[in-house]
A and B are shown apart, each in its own frame.
Chain A
Amino acid sequence: MAKVILTVNGRTMSGECEERTLLVHFIRENLGLTGTHVGCDTSQCGTCVVHMDGKSVKSCSILAVQASGSSITTIEGISANGELHPVQAAFKENHGLQCGFCTPGMVMTAVDMISRHGANLDEKTVRAELEGNICRCTGYHNIVKAILAASAEMSAARQAAE
């Protein structure tokens, strides 16, 4: 057994697990944060995406012990005070989710994507950036629309703040 210490959604959390435990299972089972999902075994579907030290990663392809010491943000940690994050709000507004299973990974991917590309996102870029996330319900149409809407809104909000 190994001890794993993480900062998760701003709080320090620690737990014991087998060294072979994947980060996603540590998050789900040890920390009880079940918003991060597992949809494949081959690192392709993206339902497990979380942010590690500020970057989107697939938590199904990282051991919890590898992540120990890092700062993790999960879907449960991106909104504050009961308000949806602008990306979450855009997914709702644009019906960017159906069954909801891929949704946490999609949202975490979108937040990372927008932070890297800022207002420079266009449809082609969004579609290319979604290579690591599979959705079986929406045909991606409304996910793409939601990400573009969120990106526009977030850059407008940033400009207004400057």
Chain B
Amino acid sequence: MGVEGIGARVTRKEDKRFLTGKGRYTDDMSVPGMKYAYFVRSPYAHANIKTIDASAAKSMPGVIDVLDGKQLLADGIGNLICGWMIHSKDGSPMKMGAWRPLAHEKVRYVGDAVAIVVADSLGEARDAAEAVEVEYEELDVVTVAVDAIKPGAPQIHAESADNLIFDWEIGDSAAVDQAIASAAHVTEIEIHNNRLSPNPMEPRATLGIYDTGEDHYTCYTTSQNPHVARLVMSAFYNVAPENKLRVIAPDVGGGFGSKIYIYPEEIVCLWASKKTGVPVKWTSDRTEAFLTDAHGRDHVSQVKMAFDADNRIIGLKVDTVANLGAYMSLFSSAVPTYLYATLLSGQYDIPAIHANVRTVYTNTVPVDAYRGAGRPEATYLLERTMETAARELGISPAELRRKNFIRSFPHQTPVIMNYDAGDYEASLEAAMGQADWNGFPARRAEAGARGKKRGIGMSCYIEACGIAPSQAVGSLGAGVGLWESAEVRVNAVGTIEVLTGSHSHGQGHETTFAQLVSDRFGVPLDSVSIVHGDTDKVQMGMGTYGSRSGAVGMSAIVKALDKVEAKAKKIAAHLMEADESDIVVEDGELKVAGTDKTLPWFQVALAAYTAHNLPAGMEPGLKETAFYDPSNFTFPAGCYICEVEVDPETGRTEIIQFVAADDFGNIINPLIVEGQVHGGIAQGVGQALLENVHYDPATGQLLTASFMDYAMPRADDLPSFKVSHQVTACPNNPLGIKGCGEAGAIGSPPALINAITDAIGNNNLTMPATTQKVWEAARAGH
């Protein structure tokens, strides 16, 4: 390991600009003549639009124009799409209702946009938005998924009878039923996975610029995948052809999934820029973010886990209802199916699994991928069930897990996934050691003497990352391929630019990707620049989500580096009159092995561009492009242990320690990987303890529409974390990387809830385990 190469704890190259206030986020962008947009949004969760009268608003000070959905439709702007086709078990395609960027007939959730006001200042735009008169005819509302599929529920889309989008299954139902019938013990539990708001600290924003001279559009946007945004806006929304549309996602202040999707606002601001002839900027406020950013989770599941007399799992049956909100967002159909039910084997050797998933429309904002996306739901379900089973069976939770661990690889689960490598016991051992699991009874007794209830809980998670093999996901319904691209440009002076389709919004790609190059050629980290986030600069790319940028994005860079290295070696061999196979690249030089002949890296680069003396027939230049399509998912896994103290008088839970033992395969930069784990755990703790999106079921009003009511984890809600890594290299990509971005959020919620239920002696507890719920459950417990 070099000091700046693979495996080094390199501090981040991008930090200086963020630390000195020089980051460039979308809302920081300003262009001459720019005006401000404010959206008129529905105050009702479900209503027909009778009339929209903007005449008063249009005459207010500073107002450029007010545009509505009928105008948008007349201009041919298309519906928002869902990019993953799921078929119900009866073979019928999912029943998808239209999602218009500006509703013109019907609104389906509070915050649904109906018009855009463009004005000289934000204040004036908002003043005018209040003066737009929209006459609504209110309709009955349903916000809870299981209520929406009951007979007589309000119908949200004509296309979807009873609000059921699809009724999908995976696995062998008969085999599972047989296992349950023959079981020595069956653990049954109802699992609720609470609805969350992603809340990256940077609210969404967009700046749409139409250039009349070139008939060209530029879209600055807070996106995790600018190329996908351009593709979709061009191919489906008919905003502009791809060659006339440049999408730039500059510094982006966190995403967590919520910035994958192409939202109405980007589309409408681009369109409005052409309509009004001025650049149009929109920046969400936090309440708009709560109302309109795609939410995450919101599952209810019935679970049956069957054990034989030796406490081995012989079958798992899951019946899940997933709330997808008022419209189908971009990846919404994939999250509760292929990103969820395919992970229901967990770390365990389960011979028979069956899951049935019904997805449902409700009068709530669309639900889509949020950090972990389906895998936290699977893990929470499994790990609470395992803990419950261990208690019912009277054996230790570690013992039950050990008994059922998968121990040989590759392992084919009954739910599609083929696990390639792992050592679950190693992470379990590491976590138990670090948590001093064996010392817990003494700590519990000591806490009891102080009037506190102490509990400990574990969770053994697995996830599928490295999303994803294009052919495989295509066969399962994906509308896109999930490869990644890279271009490595060696400049004539030897400095290097890497253009990547991955997008960094906190993950530190400018550092880790550069480490890869530095490691390969022995060049200084500072001589390597990473370029991303601009469709005019970077060739096509698929963006960053699903912990894919290491396993897929970096693999593409490796492929491009291979090509660069091969060409550089050819040039060096030619210049040094040596055999190509004898050339090695080390410490910034190309050397002839076994001799003292060397050429500095920059001289080879220069030779490539002067082209005065290249091998016969070689093209000048040193620049290569590669596309990498993974051959399998990757399977990060690990064990998390949480220890808590509950104050039975108030129900307050204090996290005493949180231990994470993860196997992410090979690690490029431990400093950054640890940071990803810390942040993921905090979000998981937020889900388990604090966060919940709450809609009023009668009116569909969002009751948690600001940080005053939606409890975000703060520094004093959390401890410092104990993090360790166990490594089994991923055999399916060149770097042996598995991915680390989501693990923390996936593994942590069940560990925390298992700890609390252990502390209070009552398993009847749902997330978030608020102080009131814990107080009540503790009173009903011990």
Contact = CB atoms under 8 A, between A and B. Distances in A.
Note whether A and B contact each other (Cβ less than 8 A).
Answer: yes
B782 interface: no
B202 A99 contact: yes
Contacts of A123: 720
B11 A99 contact: no
Nearest to B283: A38
B20 A79 contact: yes
Interface stretch (B37-45, B639-647, B705-713): B705-713
B128 to A, nearest CB: 15
A98 interface: yes
B contact patch SS: loop
B16 interface: yes
A98 B11 contact: no
B761 interface: no
A41 B12 contact: no
B25 interface: yes
B22 A95 contact: no
A104 B199 CA distance: 18
A109 to B, nearest CB: 10
Contacts of B87: none
Given A79-B20, A88-B20, A144-B715, A99 B28 contact: no
Which residue of B11, B251, B678, B706 has the most chain A CB atoms within 10 A of its CB atom? B678
Which residue of B15, B682, B712 has the most chain A CB atoms within 10 A of its CB atom? B15
Contacts of B680: 139
Contact of B201 (A18, A33, A136, A145): A136
Contacts of A84: 16, 19-20
B202 A139 contact: no
A97 interface: yes
B658 to A, nearest CB: 9
Interface in B158-215: 199-203
Given A18-B121, A42-B286, A138 B675 contact: yes
B110 to A, nearest CB: 16
B768 interface: no
A65 interface: no
A92 B15 contact: yes
A76 B21 contact: yes
Contact of B251 (A100, A107, A127): A100
A92 B16 contact: yes
A143 B720 CA distance: 10
B598 interface: no
A24 to B, nearest CB: 11
A119 interface: no
Given A18-B123, A42-B286, A107-B19, A101 B715 contact: no
Given A42-B708, A141-B721, A101 B716 contact: no
Interface in A29-55: 29, 33-42, 44-45, 47
B287 A135 contact: no
Interface stretch (B466-474, B502-510, B518-526): B502-510
B256 A136 contact: yes
A162 interface: no
B23 A35 contact: yes
A130 B714 CA distance: 7
A87 to B, nearest CB: 9
B5 interface: no
B240 interface: no
Which residue of B283, B679, B744 has the most chain A CB atoms within 10 A of its CB atom? B679
Contact of B21 (A35, A41, A42, A127): A35
B21 A126 contact: no
Interface in B7-36: 11-12, 14-25, 27-28, 30
Given A88-B20, A142-B678, A101 B25 contact: yes
Contacts of B682: 136, 138-140
B706 A42 contact: yes
A74 B720 CA distance: 29
A36 B678 CA distance: 25
A101 B28 CA distance: 12
Nearest to B255: A99
B286 A40 contact: yes
Given A97-B19, A144-B715, A42 B121 contact: no
Contact of A135 (B20, B27, B201, B283): B201
B679 A101 contact: no
A102 interface: yes
B707 A134 contact: yes
B670 to A, nearest CB: 10
Interface residues of A, number: 55
Interface string B243-257: 000000001111010
Interface in B115-139: 121, 123
A104 B202 CA distance: 13
B445 interface: no
A135 B716 CA distance: 12
Contact of B678 (A20, A29, A91, A141): A141
Contacts of A98: 254, 506-508, 675, 679
A104 to B, nearest CB: 5
B201 A47 contact: yes
Contact of B672 (A29, A95, A126): A95
Contacts of B721: 139, 141
A47 B254 CA distance: 13
A103 interface: yes
A60 to B, nearest CB: 10
A74 to B, nearest CB: 7
A16 interface: no
Interface string B370-403: 0000000000000000000000000000000000
A42 B720 contact: no
B716 A138 contact: no
A137 B22 CA distance: 19
Nearest to B252: A99
B19 A20 contact: no
Contact of B707 (A40, A93, A135, A142): A40
Contacts of B744: 139
Which residue of B200, B675, B682 has the most chain A CB atoms within 10 A of its CB atom? B675
B107 interface: no
B21 A75 contact: yes
A35 B706 CA distance: 23
B740 to A, nearest CB: 13
B253 A139 contact: no
A107 B681 CA distance: 23
B718 interface: yes
Given A35-B23, A101-B25, A134 B714 contact: yes
A101 B201 contact: yes
B403 to A, nearest CB: 32
A45 B19 contact: no
A139 B20 contact: no
A127 B716 contact: yes
Interface in B396-415: none
Given A95-B675, A127-B715, A130-B715, A103 B19 contact: yes
B707 A101 contact: no
Given A39-B202, A39-B203, A130-B716, A95 B11 contact: yes
A126 B719 CA distance: 12
Contacts of B714: 127, 130-131, 133-134, 140
A97 B676 CA distance: 11
Contacts of B235: none
Given A41-B287, A98-B254, 17 more contacts: A33-B21, A35-B23, A39-B201, A41-B285, A41-B286, A45-B286, A45-B707, A75-B21, A92-B15, A93-B11, A95-B675, A99-B200, A100-B17, A100-B253, A101-B200, A137-B679, A141-B720
25 contacts: A20-B123, A33-B21, A37-B202, A38-B203, A38-B283, A39-B286, A41-B287, A75-B19, A79-B20, A84-B16, A88-B19, A95-B674, A98-B679, A99-B201, A99-B251, A100-B17, A100-B506, A101-B254, A104-B18, A123-B720, A126-B715, A127-B714, A136-B254, A136-B683, A139-B678
Closest 7 CB pairs of A and B: A35-B21, A101-B253, A100-B18, A139-B682, A99-B506, A98-B506, A75-B21
